[in-house]
Amino acid sequence: MTSAMLTDFLKSLGLLGAFLLLGVFIRANIKIFQKTFIPAGVIGGFLLLILGPQCINILPVPGEWFKIYSLLPGVLIVPVVAAVPLGLNIGSGKSTDSDILKNVIPLIGIGLGTSMFQFAVGYGTHVLFSGQDLYDVFGIELAIGFVGGHGTAGTLGNILSGLNLPYWQTSQGVATTTATFGIVGGILIGIGLINWAARHGHTALLKKPADIPEPLRIGYQKDMAKQNSIGRETTLSSSIDTVAFHAAIIFVACGLAYIVLAFTKKFKIPVLSSISVWAYAMIVMFIIWGIMRKLNLNYLVDDKVKSKISGSFTEYAVIAAIASLPIKAVAAYIIPILVMVIVGYIVTTGILFIFCKKYLKGYWFEQMIGTFGMSTGVFLTGVLLLRVCDPNLESPALANYSLSYTITSIIYFAMLNLFIMLPMSSGAGVTTMVATGLGVVILIATVVSSRVLFGKEFKGN
């Protein structure tokens, strides 16, 4: 790699940055984007896609940059996933109500069960359209896009590219498409559910449909006194900048993960050599964070600072994935995509509504709507919907949702390889049955855990 190549790479990032800022401006000034809460990265990414070589081709930039963009999500997702265990402190919720805290266990089961049924719907769609000559893993993109979001589309691209599968970019593009449907549809459906619940007395705090605060709509807080801090300054700049310190830990985990993967490939260790680098990155980070806690160094890590770093990587992964979306390839699958997305909406909403109402005790709707946002978009989508029906975050729903999300995401990523490798070895039909079976088992376990925690006399809300 030469200096000129690195300079060109920096220029390509400059273009992404410009369209991210343009997305912020458009979101802040156009009502339709405010009402649908479409993130600036998604807006900027689609605008860059339209102006780029795949559409009207009026940008005077090298087409090679868009090849870089297609590879960028698969690289950036490694530090994003690696960062998940850093700062993890399970059991630190603020709620003091033991019954409300008990909701975390069934909420984890409901979230996981929903994601399993999303895999089942996706691969079931594959079976339904089997005459259309679909690639092996078509269908996984529903759960990747809905539960994982735009950033996780890069994880899928990373895995398939690592397996030297020719359709990796198409699958990444389909996942980006389902993620876009998920986040837009999820917010619209979520707002509709909140309005319905408020009118029918299912919300504990919101008694009538509320106006969404302006900062949430436009995407920034104008009042400097109300702007939140991004976290604690755990190190002093006389030694090392706090953000650089946190980033260094994340990069070390990534570097060690690549070394471990190279070792397993060199010695051709069965199973271990086929595990993706991001999975090793997460395992390595668990070890690093465990050592730091044993040495009582956990005061050096702030979860909010870590989240801002991984969030920054995610923003660039999202806009790069959308800007490089292979339109022609994705368009060839538009009918099965629409079918699995529509069925996905129905199944996700149905499972969450029924099981949260019946097996959570207290603030069931608030916890449900947060999990719904996560199950169709990303963590922040759930927070957004939760703040609409609990503006001052008075309920323990955020603490429960945050903890259940953390555990659910770890288990979800751990199971991801199964739903990539199984259809290639056994076909979409078998994968559909496995996903359905797992979903049923998890939801049965959820029912049992709720009865154990709250007693058999508990009849739901």
Say if 230 falls within a structural domain: no
Six-digit token pair at 393? 């975050």
**Most confident of the following: 16-20, 41-45, 457-461:** 16-20
Average pLDDT, rounded, for the chain: 90
Q: Are 140 and 156 in contact (CB under 8 A)?
A: yes
pLDDT value for 430: 97
Say if 3 falls within a structural domain: no
Of the listed ranges 77-91, 229-243, 417-431, the one predicted with least confidence? 77-91
Residue 90 belongs to domain spanning: 10-216+239-454
pLDDT at residue 175 above 60? Answer: yes
pLDDT value for 143: 95
Q: Are 130 and 428 in contact (CB under 8 A)?
A: yes
Residue 405's pLDDT band (boundaries 50, 70, 90)? confident
311 vs 190: CA distance, rounded Å:
23
Say if 303 falls within a structural domain: yes
Say if 348 falls within a structural domain: yes
Encode pLDDT of 311-325 as tens digits.
899 899 989 999 999
Say if 135 falls within a structural domain: yes
Residue owning tokens 């400059």: 14
pLDDT value for 92: 46
Say if 169 falls within a structural domain: yes
330 vs 326: CA distance, rounded Å:
6
pLDDT value for 201: 86
CA angle 46, 49, 52 (to 5 degrees): 150
Residue 94's pLDDT band (boundaries 50, 70, 90)? very low
Six-digit token pair at 29? 């000034």
**Most confident of the following: 230-234, 406-410, 451-455:** 230-234
Of the listed ranges 341-355, 394-408, 444-458, the one predicted with least confidence? 394-408
pTM exceeding the 0.85 threshold for the entire prediction? no
pLDDT above 90 covers what percent of the chain? 61
Say if 232 falls within a structural domain: no
Encode pLDDT of 279-294 as tens digits.
899 899 999 999 999 9
In 253-277, which positions are buried (b, 16+ CB within 10 angstroms) versus exposed (e)?
A: bbebbeebbeebeeeeeeeeeebbb
Say if 380 falls within a structural domain: yes
Number of domains in the chain: 1
pLDDT value for 274: 72
117 vs 115: CA distance, rounded Å:
5
Q: How far is CA 190 from CA 36, 118, 193, 389, in A?
A: 11, 18, 5, 10
